Amino acid sequence: MNTLEDYKEGKVLLIDKPLNWTSFQVVNKIRWLIKQQFEIKKIKVGHAGTLDPLATGLLILCTGKFTKKIETYQAQIKEYTGTITLGATTPSYDLESEIDKTFDVSNITSEEIQKATHQFIGEIQQQPPVFSALKKDGKRLYEYARAGEQVEIPKRTIHISEFEITNIDMPNVGFRVICSKGTYIRSLAHDFGKALNNGAHLSALRRTKIGDFSVENAVSIEGFEESLKL
């Protein structure tokens, strides 16, 4: 059983983030559970790398003195699995916003889909989605997007070491990606559609690894709550 002192000295918690939760909500919930269990007023808890609400999977949380290690974990290589849906685009590059354009996918072959992954391997320039929490001139990009304002978003250098197609069931394409910090899988999905002279958006995403940490060793929020009571 972990003591209050353990959490203050610092622990790394591996949480399997549920769908439709923000990373911030998970941090708040875990912090509240620890405070309730030990009847304290405050405890430091932070996460090492945001997951979008529509994504599930590995979220690393640090408590107490270990919050100083957050940047180290954020910088590590990440692995994701998910689904890219061809034939339609959305402004947010995922299902957060409505479909704005549709395309015919009847002529896209499995060979073309496999081949299109090659241009995304290695060091590439990627434009973050306008629906993101990145800041420009003191405002978050999604604030500009929701207000219908056009904004120039500079491309950033990222690195993708693996991009594997795991399943094709048109228009849905299953994938696995290993990539650097700062990679937007939503942007990858959008750009993948362009590479096929088509359109695409991200329809499912799960983070499976961060460095040596795996989602297989993570617990649900309910599982963490139960472990506190043991």
Active site members = 52
d(CA 190, CA 92): 9
Residue that the structure tokens 């904004």 belong to: 151
Specify the DSSP class assigned to residue 113.
Answer: H
CA angle 176, 182, 204 (to 5 degrees): 40
Alpha carbon of residue 21 to chain centroid: 12
Is 184 in contact with 126 (CB distance < 8 Å)? yes
Angle at 53 between CA 60 and CA 33, to 5 degrees: 50
The one-letter amino acid at 96: E
**Separation of alpha carbons 209 and 230, rounded Å:** 27
Residues 6+ apart with CB under 8 A from 63: 7, 8, 10, 11, 13, 34, 43, 44, 45
CA separation for the pair 30, 2 (Å, rounded): 14
Q: Which residue reads 């993948």 in tokens?
A: 192
CA angle 105, 108, 114 (to 5 degrees): 130
